């Protein structure tokens, strides 16, 4: 929406009229008033998706919970493969199965009995391990309220353009998830943390994926918009492990995670599979539980959202002709801040002293944009007409009607 308005202005920028408008309203007014104050509550809705984060949590200890660590490491591998870099993955593992004395394959973790894929290879960065994985630390990661000494690598440094994947596995029950052997995270805690994140604009969209028994109950208290939740089982259902590795002597992967991974193994970074296709891939008979999705807080249609929006780092890119004219409001805001020092002087001074200067700049800009200004104008108008139909049309038409007024005022 915001973006569309921006394109409108972009299209107008080629004309000198735009300049006048710019000068008339004043740069600071322009950047702050209509957008920051006009749409304060829905700012993240209107923000571009600019980055991806993943928080992957294994909450259970002990050798017989091997599969939970294998689940988490498999997901870690998948999201890394699909393009989320290590510094944007917070990996929390409550125990170290790889170095457990009972592990027949020291320093290796497998999620399949064929032992083809060692999940605990060289490039695994575990951010929180062992007894560091507590409810407190988990909530601190989500809400970003760390002690000052916590390094950046252990923080979730997301912003309002972030898509976050939150994956949790362990032992759950009705509205709780067990952490380690002593604590539990309740659905209220999770909902509260997500709400705080929303208030602090720490995400644009959040996908919570939980593989525990009665996973659906963990989502019952969520109320923040932009949150999508998938659980492996409904209330009263158990989530089962997929198969037992009779060599290692433990179950190595859970069913829900196994079929999730099976879905992703077919994909690469460039695939366009939608979230709904992922959700539809869960078969209750093979899962032995009913996967549950909570979509009522999520605005977009699942058919239109590629899974790589969350599991990869693929986001919508906007082609712009100018190298440094990023379309997002946020980045443009940054640009404004950067350019502001020479515009800090009051408006009437600018009018007289820097007029030519600005004109020169704009003429330079014109040179750069030279390609075919009128064709661009026409095409962007056409685009606008095609795309702008609903709620924002009123604003656009208002702005369009301002043009003759401005013309009139300049003539006068």
Partner 1 sequence: MAETEAPRPRQRPIVRLGIFLISHSFSFSVVCCTAGVLALLLLPILAKNTYISENALMPGSANPMLSNQDVLEANRFVKDLIALNSKPRGSGIESQRLIAQYMKDLGAEVNYHKFHPQITQFHPLQFFSSPDSGTVERNISCSFHGVNTVGITRAPRGDGKEAIVLVTPYNSQKIKQAEALSLGTAYSVFSLLSRVTWLAKDIIWLVSDSQHGEYAAVSAWLRDYHIPMFTRLHTVNAETCPDINYLYDVRDNSVTGRKIYDGFKRAGTMAAALVIKVVDRSETFDDNLNIYAEASNGQMPNLDLINIVNYLAVHRQGFRVKVEKLWSLLDSKWLKNLGELFESVGQVVSSINPQWKFGIPAADYTEGIATLASSLYNQALGVPTGPHGAFRDYQVDAITLELSPRASVDKIIRQNDFLLRGGRLIEGVILSVNNLLEKFHQSFFLYLLTSPGKFVSVGVYMIAFALLVAPLPMVAASLYADAINLNSSQNNEKTVADEPGTALRSLKWVNAAKKVFVVHLWGSVVSLLPYFICQIPNRSPTVSFIIWFLLSVLSFFIMFLILASPFSHAKESQLHLREWAILKSVTMSATFIGLCLMSVINFSTAELGGLLLVPMCLMAQPMRRDIRVGSLSTLSRLAYNLVFCLIGFPPVTFVLLKGAFEGFNSINVGDFWCWVESLWAWSSATYLYIGMVHLPCWVLCIHILFHHC
Q: Which residues are catalytic?
A: 171, 213
Q: Which of 28, 42, 64, 236 binds partner 1 (CB under 8 A)?
A: 64
Closest separation in Å from C-beta 68 to partner 1 = 13
By the rule CB under 8 A, 131 interacts with partner 1: no
Q: Which of 28, 29, 36, 62 binds partner 1 (CB under 8 A)?
A: 62
Nearer to partner 1, 241 or 362 (CB): 241
Closest separation in Å from C-beta 95 to partner 1 = 11
Nearer to partner 1, 61 or 163 (CB): 61
Burial bucket for residue 175 (CB in 10 Å: 0-12, 13-18, 19+): buried
Distance separating alpha carbons of residues 100 and 52, to the nearest angstrom:
32
Edge-to-edge, what's the strand order for the sheet holding 128-129? 128-129, 89-93, 51-58, 162-169, 205-211, 227-231, 292-294
Nearer to partner 1, 239 or 251 (CB): 251
Structure tokens given for 92: 């929390």
By the rule CB under 8 A, 404 interacts with partner 1: no
Closest separation in Å from C-beta 214 to partner 1 = 17
Distance separating alpha carbons of residues 261 and 15, to the nearest angstrom:
52
Nearer to partner 1, 82 or 177 (CB): 177
By the rule CB under 8 A, 63 interacts with partner 1: yes
Closest separation in Å from C-beta 103 to partner 1 = 7
Nearer to partner 1, 102 or 145 (CB): 102
Query: Considering only residues 195-254, where is the footprint of partner 1 by CB under 8 A?
Result: 244, 246-251
Closest separation in Å from C-beta 182 to partner 1 = 14
Query: Considering only residues 305-334, where is the footprint of partner 1 by CB under 8 A?
Result: none
Nearer to partner 1, 9 or 63 (CB): 63
For 90, 342, 351, 359, 370, the CA distances from 363, given in Å and listed in that order, are: 47, 18, 17, 6, 10
- Which range touches partner 1 (CB under 8 A), out of 41-49, 103-111, 305-313, 339-347? 103-111
By the rule CB under 8 A, 99 interacts with partner 1: yes
- Counting residues that bind partner 1 (by CB under 8 A) gives 18
Nearer to partner 1, 99 or 372 (CB): 99
Query: Considering only residues 247-286, where is the footprint of partner 1 by CB under 8 A?
Result: 247-251
**How many residues does the structure list for the chain?**
412
174 contacts: CB under 8 Å, gap ≥ 6: 214, 217, 235
By the rule CB under 8 A, 102 interacts with partner 1: yes
Closest separation in Å from C-beta 196 to partner 1 = 35
Yes or no: say if 40 and 180 are a contact pair by the CB < 8 Å rule: no
Distance separating alpha carbons of residues 318 and 159, to the nearest angstrom:
19
Closest separation in Å from C-beta 244 to partner 1 = 6
- Which range touches partner 1 (CB under 8 A), out of 104-112, 140-148, 158-166, 215-223? 104-112
Q: Which of 16, 38, 85, 104 binds partner 1 (CB under 8 A)?
A: 104
By the rule CB under 8 A, 106 interacts with partner 1: yes
Residues lying near partner 1 in the complex (CB under 8 A): 62-64, 99-106, 244, 246-251
């Amino acid at each position: 929406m915001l973006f569309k308005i921006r394109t409108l202005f972009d299209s107008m920028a080629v004309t000198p009229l735009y300049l006048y408008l710019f000068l008339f309203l004043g740069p600071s007014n322009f950047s702050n008033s209509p957008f920051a104050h006009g749409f304060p509550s829905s700012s993240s809705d209107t923000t571009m998706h600019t980055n991806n984060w993943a928080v992957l949590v294994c909450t259970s200890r002990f050798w017989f919970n091997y599969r939970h660590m294998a689940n988490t490491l498999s997901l870690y591998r998948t999201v890394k493969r699909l393009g989320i870099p290590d510094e944007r993955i917070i990996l929390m593992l409550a125990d170290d199965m790889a170095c457990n004395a009972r592990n027949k394959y020291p320093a290796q973790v497998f999620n399949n009995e064929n032992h083809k894929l060692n999940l605990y290879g060289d490039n695994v960065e575990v951010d929180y391990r062992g007894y560091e994985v507590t409810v407190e630390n988990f909530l601190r990661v989500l809400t970003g309220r760390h002690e000052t000494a916590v390094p950046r690598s252990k923080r979730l440094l997301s912003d309002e353009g972030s898509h976050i994947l939150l994956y949790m596995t362990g032992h759950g029950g009705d509205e709780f998830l067990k952490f380690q052997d002593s604590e539990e995270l309740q659905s209220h805690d999770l909902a509260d943390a997500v709400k705080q994140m929303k208030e602090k604009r720490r995400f644009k969209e959040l996908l919570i994926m939980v593989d525990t028994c009665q996973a659906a109950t963990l989502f019952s208290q969520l109320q923040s918009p932009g949150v999508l939740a998938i659980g492996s089982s409904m209330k009263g259902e158990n989530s089962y492990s997929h198969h037992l590795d009779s060599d290692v002597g433990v179950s190595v992967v859970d069913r829900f995670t196994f079929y999730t991974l099976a879905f992703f193994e077919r994909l690469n970074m460039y695939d366009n599979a939608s979230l709904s296709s992922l959700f539809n891939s869960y078969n209750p008979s093979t899962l032995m539980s009913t996967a549950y999705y909570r979509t009522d807080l999520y605005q977009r249609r699942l058919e239109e959202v590629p899974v790589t929006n969350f599991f990869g780092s693929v986001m919508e890119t906007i082609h712009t002709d100018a190298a440094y004219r990023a379309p997002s409001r946020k980045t443009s805001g940054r640009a404004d801040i950067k350019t502001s020092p020479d515009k800090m002087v009051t408006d009437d001074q600018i009018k007289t002293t820097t007029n030519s200067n600005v004109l020169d700049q704009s003429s330079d800009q014109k040179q750069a944009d030279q390609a075919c200004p009128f064709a661009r104008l026409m095409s962007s108008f056409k685009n606008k007409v095609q795309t702008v139909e609903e709620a924002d049309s009123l604003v656009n038409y208002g702005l369009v009607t301002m043009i003759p007024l401005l013309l009139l005022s300049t003539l006068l």
